[in-house]
A and B are shown apart, each in its own frame.
Chain A
């Protein structure tokens, strides 16, 4: 029996999305049964990578078959879901999905920054958006899409924020690497001049590139003490 077919049958009957870990537990339990046959037992020790590869293969096969449903992985758990174009009929069958109201534009922008740049401080988000984000952050935290993940090792040790598993579920993402254009947005712009970004008195933290490049510290300090007008440093903060 092929591993991917076994996994398919499990996911077909599962009451909830199953993670690779849970699937491996099922395989181990099946092998532990007294009347287990040799090939059932041989799958008891299926490696995480093997199971993942089989699931991905299965998902590709379903995609290629162009069925009305596909195998999706959301927040690390696998599940059969329908294709979006069949929504009108499914809504008629099971009703509108119970989901919180859609996110506002400011909330989506803020969430995008946090998602791509996490862990990130509130000041960093504000610097990119050019506006105060207190209210939006509050909303995002209340909805459980964003959580505090630690503290930045800069003056004042401000809290840093990251996205939650619920965030992945809400947007149907497998993981953070599944975010669209992740490479481009997570990378820090290389052409960025060594700007005196810490000069802002209202800013409790330095932007990410300051955290990464310690040798810039001297330069920053020099610019800081030069008395350069704050407006020139970071115009919108």
Chain B
């Protein structure tokens, strides 16, 4: 009989009395609101909602509210509204049907008893639905998806593409050099070689190590002059000769792809950052 009646759902989160009453938890059952309490009372009576004696229900409900007060619990407004509704229903029952005050505009169907029962039936349906959702929630915790390991069939293990000949490489570097051809066609300047092949070797190794595979054109994206392009190209040829790198062309006239040779020692990768 000792129940803790809980007020609105909001009160569950905010009300300090929950903490105060925590030690009595074992004895108390939680009610979500007045409808919840009514459903509990009906269940205790072991009758169908449609056949419940609302007069008796009203008495029991108000007894509960008294009990809540005794326990110094805050009685939420919703409970008081419900209590007044029940009292209204009960007071109507006191009079014989033919003497009941017919409120103007109220038709036969708008019996407050019916309205309450309808609400209770609807609420109980959703309460049942909540139980089913809870079951789904628990079930979902037990279900593990298949998460396959990342397939190694990505770019690395693709079947080797047709080999690239020195002519393909020359063609490709010519395309890059055309970028500079126009600018440098008219007047010739003489300047120092700012770039060395060994620097470029380290640069290429670094790029390839960092990204796995590099497109031929990407190697020259940052090149600022003809001589830099030539330097990078010589470095690339050198690395291919040393079997550090391999070139492959996905499709005819496609971009040439440069990646680390399968047998190459990985130690050479790190080098100083170069422009």
Contact = CB atoms under 8 A, between A and B. Distances in A.
Interface string A109-131: 11111011000000000011111
A229 interface: yes
Given A132-B8, A189-B122, A82 B144 contact: yes
Contact of A223 (B105, B114, B126, B146): B105
Contact of A103 (B137, B144, B150): B137
Interface stretch (B76-84, B207-215, B224-232): B76-84
A13 B149 CA distance: 8
Interface stretch (B27-35, B181-189, B196-204): B27-35
Interface in B78-113: 78, 81-82, 84-86, 88, 103-106, 109-112
A154 interface: no
Contact of B110 (A110, A111, A196, A235): A196
Interface residues of B, number: 62
B110 A229 contact: no
Given A231-B81, A232-B88, A236-B81, A80 B110 contact: no
B92 to A, nearest CB: 9
A172 interface: yes
B22 interface: no
Given A17-B145, A106-B12, A189 B121 contact: yes
B119 interface: yes
Contacts of A86: 144
Contacts of B126: 109, 112-113, 116, 128-129, 185
Interface in B131-163: 131-134, 136-148, 150-151
Residue in A90, A108, A173 whose Cβ sees the most chain B Cβ within 10 Å = A108
A30 to B, nearest CB: 14
A13 B148 contact: yes
B270 interface: no
Contacts of A133: 9-10
Contact of B78 (A12, A72, A189, A236): A236
Contacts of A235: 34, 81-82, 85-86, 112, 115-116, 119
A110 B133 CA distance: 11
By size class, the interface of chain A is 35 or more
B143 A84 contact: yes
Given A223-B110, A236-B78, A193 B84 contact: no
A204 B62 CA distance: 29
A102 B30 CA distance: 17
Contacts of A228: 103, 105-106
Given A81-B144, A103-B137, A229 B123 contact: no
Contacts of A130: 33-36, 78, 82, 119, 123
A111 B126 CA distance: 9
A108 B130 contact: yes
Contacts of B82: 130, 235-236
B88 A229 contact: yes
A228 B13 CA distance: 35
B167 interface: no
B132 A180 contact: yes
Interface of A: 12-15, 17, 69, 72, 79-87, 90, 94, 97, 99, 102-113, 115-116, 127-136, 139, 170-173, 179-181, 184-185, 189, 191-196, 222-223, 225-229, 231-237
Interface of B: 7-10, 12-14, 30, 32-36, 76, 78, 81-82, 84-86, 88, 103-106, 109-112, 114-116, 118-119, 121-123, 125-134, 136-148, 150-151
25 contacts: A13-B148, A14-B148, A82-B143, A84-B139, A97-B144, A111-B130, A129-B9, A129-B32, A130-B34, A130-B78, A130-B82, A130-B123, A132-B9, A132-B78, A135-B10, A193-B111, A193-B114, A195-B118, A226-B104, A228-B105, A228-B106, A231-B88, A231-B112, A235-B81, A236-B33
Given A108-B137, A131-B10, A181-B132, 7 more contacts: A12-B146, A72-B143, A87-B141, A99-B141, A108-B130, A112-B133, A193-B114
